[in-house]
Amino acid sequence: MHPQVTLKIAIPLFGDRISPHFGASSTILLVEVQNGKITDRQILNIGPPPLELARRLVSLGAKQLICGGILHPHK
């Protein structure tokens, strides 16, 4: 039996598209993937500023971020 592999991915949204830059949107799609299959998805409105957004994503367990770009302090 293989161990469960779970990954949470955060995707900042700009309308219905991926945000061109982290911090440009406070709406986040949080996707949970287990063994290659999406098991959960949530749309969250976290709000600015970007540093608070980054902290919140870490507290939610996000391990990956998909966006167009990010400033060094927010990494």
Which CATH number covers residue 60? 3.30.420.130
The pTM for the full model equals 0.82
Q: Is residue 1, in this structure, part of any structural domain at all?
A: no
pLDDT, mean of residues 20-37: 88
Q: Is residue 75, in this structure, part of any structural domain at all?
A: no
Report the number of secondary-structure helices (H) and strands (E) in the chain.
1, 5
Quote the number of domains for the chain: 1
70 close to 51: Cβ distance less than 8 angstroms: no
- Token pair belonging to 19: 């945000």
Predicted pLDDT of residue 67: 87
Return the percentage of the chain with pLDDT > 70, whole number. 93
- The domain of 23 spans 6-70
Query: Residue 49 — pLDDT band, cuts 50, 70, 90?
Result: confident
Q: Is residue 63, in this structure, part of any structural domain at all?
A: yes
Predicted pLDDT of residue 2: 62
